Amino acid sequence: MSTAFRELLKKVGSGVHTGEDLTRAESMAATKMMLLAEATPAQIGAFLIAHRIKRPTGEELAGMLDAYSELGAKLQPINFARSPIVLGIPYDGRSRTAPISPITALLLITANQPVIMHGSDRSPTKYGLPLIEIWQGLGVDFSKLSLAQTQQVFETTGLGFVYLPQHFSQAQVIFDYRDQIGKRPPFATMELVWCPYTGDAHIIAGFVHPPTEGMFQGALTLRGTSNFTTVKGLEGSCDLPRDRTAIVGIFTGDALVEHLHLSARDYGFSNKNVPLTSTPELVAAMQTVLQGKPSELMQSALWNGGFYLWRSGICSDMRSGIAKAEELLTSGEVAQKLKEISAVVKKS
């Protein structure tokens, strides 16, 4: 048993009247003790559920990110004109709506905007479709690459994927506790703004509940992140919805510069999200998009691609971004980029 961890557990688990928030340093220490298994399983489980009930602060998230930065896998800076975009997407995947972020990533990479993604296998509590399975369906298997091989793929293609079971096994252990307590602990919030990259990057984080955005701002400001974006996306992801107004937070420095309210209808798209059926059907639909053929998923690809091509600075506005996305898809450039990435990964 860790006596030091017990004291931190007492702080977060003492209830409404006597409980206390952790400092950034305490949160970092607690996270490290959990990742390094210095705390006992009973202590870790108790901490995770107590911390969830209390709700984390931005300062506590910053401390957790500090621990991940010290212990976790990180890609090294690459010689690209643009800083990478890091997409923060829930590790427990999707269960209701079709993911579009792999297509978005391919569009951005084709336009010379590097992208970093990170995730795991099917994870608690949702056990939804994870990114790694989608990429495997598209012919790109990141799961067997070492971190050095992943770095090589990133440098060659502009796409990096940090896969926790292979690259950060200490963090992977936490998923067992997530399954046993049956609730998403604050680690599930923190992972959305984790940046597994040592250089400057543009973090784009999905969220569901409005208070989460404030926690993101607090944590990233403390860590000196000067450029980030929040997206109230589909199932907490970075995918812009079509059935409701997309709420996007643009942050520069320590300030919210603007809240965008984007409606797909204003840009000629229907207000219908594509439902998620089976993985093979999703992959087949993505292949249709890559062939430049019209479909409901193509509408989502253009809607999201247009936004991200604009937000990354490649296009001057949303409409030109949508036109650029359509051009890249119908010309076959994005499909060719996928083939290049697949070939590089297979050779690694």
Band of residue 18 on the pLDDT scale cut at 50, 70, 90: confident
Residue 17: predicted pLDDT: 64
Q: Is the pLDDT of residue 257 over 90?
A: no
**Whose structure tokens read 């980030």?**
228
Band of residue 168 on the pLDDT scale cut at 50, 70, 90: very high
Structural Rg of the chain based on CA atoms: 20
Q: How far apart are CA 124 and CA 175, in angstroms?
A: 7
Q: What angle do CA 309, 323, 100 make, to 5 degrees?
A: 55
Look at residue 276 and give its three-state secondary structure. Answer: coil
* Whether 342 contacts 159, CB under 8 Å: no
Q: Is the pLDDT of residue 255 over 90?
A: no
Residue 157: predicted pLDDT: 98
Which long-range contacts link 254-263 to residues 24+ away (Cβ below 8 Å)?
254/217, 254/221, 256/217, 262/307, 262/318
Q: How far apart are CA 178 and CA 173, in angstroms?
A: 9
The DSSP line for 89-112 is --TT-BSSB---HHHHHHHHHHTT
Q: Is the pLDDT of residue 14 over 90?
A: no
Residue 253: predicted pLDDT: 77
